Structure 1
Amino acid sequence: MVLLNTRFPRLPGDIGNPASFDRPVLYRRVAAASVAAVARPEGIEPALAEAILAAGRALVAEGAAVIATSCGFLGELQARLAAALPVPVAASALSLLPQVRARHGAAARLGILTFDARRLTPRHFGGHWSEDLLVEGLEQGRTLYPAIAEDRAAFDPAAAEADVAEAAARLLARAGRLDAVVLECTNIGPYAARVRAVTGAAVYDLVGSLRAQPEVSTTAQGTRIPC
């Protein structure tokens, strides 16, 4: 797992918590990969992209069978990482969108819950953006958003869950109905059940998809992780 360089708590269900998985996980932190350096509308700087690729190569050398990252904004690197690394790559939950669409049909109403909707742009979707996607962010929240943005050492999990529930409710209100919600932000994973309860929709995130199947295959265009 390629990790951003953060200190905020990662609860079970977060990709950065090894208890989220039922098998051993290798982690490698990228020193320059702060939230501010990664969650940018203009995308990743070339030097940081190289450092992330180097971290992926180091994890493969240590025996990693699959490479994932801890931030959905790295979806823009999906094709590059998949082409450069000899193992399956899941750079972002946004790479699950083709499979989510295939499962729910062309008429499905799909939503994205993201860390910051103001910063998430089509470039982060790795070629899977479409105008019918509805995107809602955590930026109106009082707990989880500042904990991530300011890299706070602690936060109240119950208050964070309330922030996520409010964001999910806003998304549902805009959509009218939702068939599926994809969690761009891996820090929302611990609250996936709450998102499901609020929206009545199927919820997809990177942790759940990685745990669901023992084998993952990929192409430069997208990750094949059965939903």
Structure 2
Amino acid sequence: MIDIPPPRGNRWPRLPFNGAPLGVLMMERMGSENRPFIPGDTGNASTWTVPARYKVVPGLSVSRIFAPDAGEMLSTVVEAAKELAREGAQLITCQCGYSIQYQAAVRDAVDVPVFLSSLLLAPFLERMLPRGKALGIMVASKSVLTPDMLEAAGLPASLGRRVAIVGLEDTPAFAESWIRSVGRLDVKAVEKDVVDTAVALVNDRLDIGMLLLECGDLPPYAASVQSATGLPVFDYTSMVEFFIGGLVRKPFTGLI
């Protein structure tokens, strides 16, 4: 016997399909982009432990979200999130961590939880760290990450040396594939860029106690980063799967 939860209001919502609680906002792929979203990437449905539904935000590309006028895309992002919620998404996340700039508006526009950037994990992780330790954050482009974005994520400037941020914008393979959006994806080369950058950060800041990966294209390399640094590593999947764990609870079994 299947235990069906009660409907919303007085009737069941009319949905195109059921059983895909995770909604993911995606950016448009411009020109001749042909890089696959590999397992672990937010754009790969097999990354998640529950079925996902995807929604491309018209006009929102990598170059646009990196631009100073990215805020002009706010209403389009909000509308795409509303569509996901109407289709039955019970949680809305996205592909790019710089979507943190849309977090407040999207949260106010829908009636489901919204996690538009893994940067939302940063305050939680920072508070867990002991005195004398810092949180290392790896981002796609440090120059694009503004103080307003950090504030939106709950990271005030007063944290000072408790947070150390490093960007991947000057790496050869990652920047070519995911920032300049040219060429094919060389997974091994991107992995080397990510690991080398993490190791350099940890060697420069010996007080770093945890690492957080901001970009939705970085989770595939989290295990390699952890192996190279010996540190706990968190990312989009840590954030989303944390909520999924509360959304899909299973009875405990064991001995008494």
TM-score range, shorter chain: 0.7 to 0.9
Asked if residue 152 in structure 1 is aligned to residue 204 in structure 2, the reply is no
How far does residue 163 in structure 1 lie from its aligned partner after superposition?
0.6
CA distance in 1, matches of 2:147, 2:137: 12
Tell me which residue corresponds to 1:84: 109
Aligned positions of 1:62-101 closer than 5 A: 62-101=87-126
Greater mean alpha carbon deviation, residues 203-212 or residues 82-91: 203-212
| 8 A Cα contact 1:43 1:123, kept in partner | no
Tell me which residue corresponds to 1:37: 64
Aligned positions of 1:47-196 closer than 5 A: 48-125=73-150, 126=152, 127-130=154-157, 131-132=160-161, 133-152=163-182, 154-196=184-226
| 8 A Cα contact 2:126 2:134, kept in partner | no
Alignment TM-score, normalising by the size of structure 1: 0.88
For residues 79-116 of structure 1, give each alpha carbon's deviation from its aligned partner in whole angstroms, at most 9, with x where no partner exists: 22212210000010111112112322454311110111
Cα separation, partners in 2 of 1:27 and 1:37, compared to 1, 3 Å: same
Indicate the SS of the match to 1:90.
coil
Tell me which residue corresponds to 1:225: none
Indicate the SS of the match to 1:26.
strand
Q: Which residue identity does 1:166 align to in structure 2? A: D
Greater mean alpha carbon deviation, residues 16-25 or residues 133-142: 133-142
For residues 107-150 of structure 1, give each alpha carbon's deviation from its aligned partner in whole angstroms, at most 9, with x where no partner exists: 43111101111221222221424332211111221112111123
For residues 182-219 of structure 1, give each alpha carbon's deviation from its aligned partner in whole angstroms, at most 9, with x where no partner exists: 111111110001111222221111112212443569xx
Cα separation, partners in 2 of 1:43 and 1:168, compared to 1, 3 Å: farther
How far does residue 159 in structure 1 lie from its aligned partner after superposition?
0.7
Cα separation, partners in 2 of 1:213 and 1:87, compared to 1, 3 Å: closer
1:12 to 39, 42, 46: 39
Tell me which residue corresponds to 2:12: none
The 4+ residue runs of structure 1 with deviation greater than 4 A are none
How far does residue 173 in structure 1 lie from its aligned partner after superposition?
2.3
| 8 A Cα contact 1:9 1:153, kept in partner | no
CA distance in 2, matches of 1:162, 1:90: 28
Q: Which residue identity does 2:137 align to in structure 1? A: I
Greater mean alpha carbon deviation, residues 74-83 or residues 54-63: 74-83
How far does residue 153 in structure 1 lie from its aligned partner after superposition?
5.7
Cα separation, partners in 2 of 1:33 and 1:175, compared to 1, 3 Å: same
Bigger radius of gyration: 2
| 8 A Cα contact 2:166 2:201, kept in partner | yes
Cα separation, partners in 2 of 1:199 and 1:178, compared to 1, 3 Å: farther
Which structure has more relative contact order (CA 8 Å, sep 6+)? It is 1
